[in-house]
Structure 1
Amino acid sequence: MTSPEHPGPLALPGVLTAEEAGATAAWIAGQQRPDGALPWFEGHHLDPWDHVEAAMALDTAGEHDRAAAAYDWLARHQNPDGSWYAAYAAGDPRRPTDLGRESNFCAYPAVGVLHHYLATGDEAFRRRMWPVVRAAVAFVLDLQRDGGQLGWRRDATGRAVPDALLTGSASGYQALRCALALAELAGEAQPDWEVATGRLGHAVAHHEELFLDKSRYSMDWYYPVLAGAVRGEAAAERLAARWDEFVVPGFGVRCVRENPWVTGGESAELALALWSVGQQEHAVEVLRALSRLRTPDGRYWTGYVYADDAFWPVEHTTWTAGSVLLAVAALTGDPATTAVFGGHDLPAGLDPDCRCPARDA
């Protein structure tokens, strides 16, 4: 087993050396609570999606016990309906600060569970986490709308919010594909999930009118590609169409189209999306810009306002650092990371038009 000091293949010329990757992994590990929780940073809140992102990064660095502890935290604190709350103060499960339960937050643990299993081959872990994933998927699919899109959340009163977000639904599509892969490993057929996954992927790829208009945010631009709903020539065309709106050469990716602010998380995710459709050179180009956000001890600033030459917000987040490690892991061929983000062998559900099983092309 490797450690943050010796992270294995996490080295990419011009982006990270092995020693730098080790320092970043060590910093993420240092933010983890003794109970396994991974807040944004020590003392800040935890949300389930970013908790999983940081856990996946730990797995890329060989910190498998720490990653497993993060997933066990989710298992211990899952709500009876299969969900998790949207935020917990300082990562403390006794102190939820947002009692809403968001569909993409609750779906994403399936990605992390599959990633950890593929990284470790730990059958006991897979069996232990399968009921957790199964319950979470039931919660998520209860929010699916007639067009296939995922309703955003249940609010604190339990009311289903019907509005759907393109980024959230795209992330949910990746998660459902990973959940289907876990179902296959468990030997439990899930035909309803196959139908739901196919409908969701179709909605994300072909029916943006079903979603709230968040087109000013870069995530709505690249996430359908990152999540695997759009591939091939359509993916290349989608990424090219708005490249100049969101990519600032030498700085990274704008979070919001009209603001002079680039963010590490969006930049690393775009690099993953580019890698997933074979545009490795562009991916490396984007990642190299993130050296501006890196501190000497391996942390990453969340964002940079280039018009003011100022880091903002004034924080270093586990999920920003984690997204960088995941992008580097994909580009250097880490098998678990390439499997969940490349998606070539993940089930794609049933095509809504032909009702036949599909796999990513």
Structure 2
Amino acid sequence: MSRLPSESELRRTGATIAAAQAACGAIPWDVAGDTAGKVDPWDHVEAAMGLLATGFDDEAAAAYDFLARTQRADGSWPVEWRLGEDGTPRVVDAGFDTNLTGYVAVGIWHHWRTRGEVHAVKAWWPMVRTALDAVVALQLPSGAIAWATGEYGPAAHGLLAGTSCLHLALRCGAVLGDVVGDPRPDWRRAAGRIAAVVAARPDDPRVFDPKPRYSMEWYYPVLGGALRGPAAHDRIEARWEEFVVPGLGIHCVDDHPWVTGAETCELALALTALDRRAEAARLVADMQHLRDEDGSYWTGYVYPDDARWPIERSTWTAAAVILATQVLADRAVLVGASNHARMFGNT
């Protein structure tokens, strides 16, 4: 299928996410495969957005309620849980990753923009406030956000992709604060500092631990809204031929012939932010070879071997397809990809 999925096809995709969700509300990585049972807070939120966008409102609410119940006193969540046979989550990595913690604000913002339910925002606001306060407390003098903290204190550097994503989370959180009558100008200031350092020093190893082989490091400054205008176009053009494989999608890393669906759809969202909609639509159509007959999506494809890899159909890939397709069809609010005038008004 080399076209954008239809609304009914997206509904089937949302149903595969809903079917994977545990009774506690947690959404594991995988429909059924190598990573079945793994849960992390970032991909859980992405999957929850996919559920809401395809009409699984109760399931999306259950996903956010799960996070509200499991948030730690410091505002964070574990890096990873595993679901037992009875569906009970067990912490297997208790670390504190700032990007995994802050992304909840994007999900709740998406819920508000999609459903307009202020009462729901108010119910989840304490969770968002505590999470983003924890993130801002780890902003470094450079403006980057320390990517993690733990026994020995915060990391000395940020990650470019993670800090760029937190720019989006802080802007979304500030809007939610306005909605509930709890303005957070400190979050807007923190986002402004992120935008400044991403624009001025994206490749400075004294600021960001370099991860140049990953496509996420290439496009996330645009996807998260930290980089705009001609500089954003220039960044996309600079490595287009390294990452984009016509007809298949984009590489996850620049040194392996492996295309991945979620990264392809995220790049499409970034391109939509730059009004490059035709290129964005082409990318989403190109990656449809990863669609399974039940509507779920394989994570990636190693094209010289004609092999799916890893052996998983990931809920977060399915969600990325849903969000990118609906944005391109003008059936959804933009998450992480609009120009800020459309996304945040004059905030």
The residue type paired with residue 219 of structure 1 is M
TM-score by length of 2: 0.93
Aligned to 1:144: 139
Alpha-carbon shift at residue 158 of structure 1 (Å)? 6.3
**1:170·1:229 contact (CA, 8 Å) conserved in 2?**
yes
- Secondary structure of the 1:304 match is strand
**1:115·1:340 contact (CA, 8 Å) conserved in 2?**
no
Alpha-carbon shift at residue 339 of structure 1 (Å)? 6.0
- Answering whether residue 116 of structure 2 is matched by residue 121 of structure 1, we say yes
Aligned to 1:112: 107
- Secondary structure of the 2:322 match is helix
Alpha-carbon shift at residue 41 of structure 1 (Å)? 2.1
May I ask how many residue pairs the two structures share in their alignment?
337
Alpha-carbon shift at residue 150 of structure 1 (Å)? 0.6
Aligned to 2:21: 32
Q: Distance in 1 between matches of 2:121 and 2:8?
A: 31
In the TM superposition, 1:1-361 aligns within 5 A as: 14-41=3-30, 43-90=36-83, 94-155=89-150, 157=151, 159-208=153-202, 209=204, 210-335=207-332, 337-338=333-334, 341-342=337-338, 343-346=340-343, 359=347
The residue type paired with residue 299 of structure 1 is S
Q: Distance in 1 between matches of 2:152 and 2:47?
A: 28
The residue type paired with residue 47 of structure 1 is D
The residue type paired with residue 36 of structure 1 is G
Instruction: Call closer, same or farther: CA 1:82–1:251 in 2, change over 3 Å.
Output: same
Instruction: Call closer, same or farther: CA 1:110–1:158 in 2, change over 3 Å.
Output: farther
**2:174·2:188 contact (CA, 8 Å) conserved in 1?**
yes
Q: Distance in 1 between matches of 2:99 and 2:323?
A: 19
Q: List gaps (5 residues or longer) in structure 1.
A: 1-11, 349-357
Provide, for residues 49-80 of structure 1, a one-character-per-residue CA deviation record: whole Å limited to 9, x for no partner. 00000000111112111111111111011001
The residue type paired with residue 287 of structure 1 is V
The residue type paired with residue 274 of structure 1 is L
The residue type paired with residue 41 of structure 1 is D
**1:64·1:116 contact (CA, 8 Å) conserved in 2?**
no
Mean Cα deviation higher: 230-239 or 298-307: 230-239
The residue type paired with residue 201 of structure 1 is A
- Secondary structure of the 2:259 match is strand
**2:327·2:334 contact (CA, 8 Å) conserved in 1?**
yes
Instruction: Call closer, same or farther: CA 1:313–1:273 in 2, change over 3 Å.
Output: same
Alpha-carbon shift at residue 94 of structure 1 (Å)? 4.8
Aligned-pair identity in percent equals 43
**1:181·1:346 contact (CA, 8 Å) conserved in 2?**
no
Alpha-carbon shift at residue 344 of structure 1 (Å)? 2.4
Please provide the CA RMSD for this pair: 1.8
Instruction: Call closer, same or farther: CA 1:127–1:93 in 2, change over 3 Å.
Output: farther
Provide, for residues 192-219 of structure 1, a one-character-per-residue CA deviation record: whole Å limited to 9, x for no partner. 2222111011112221111111111110
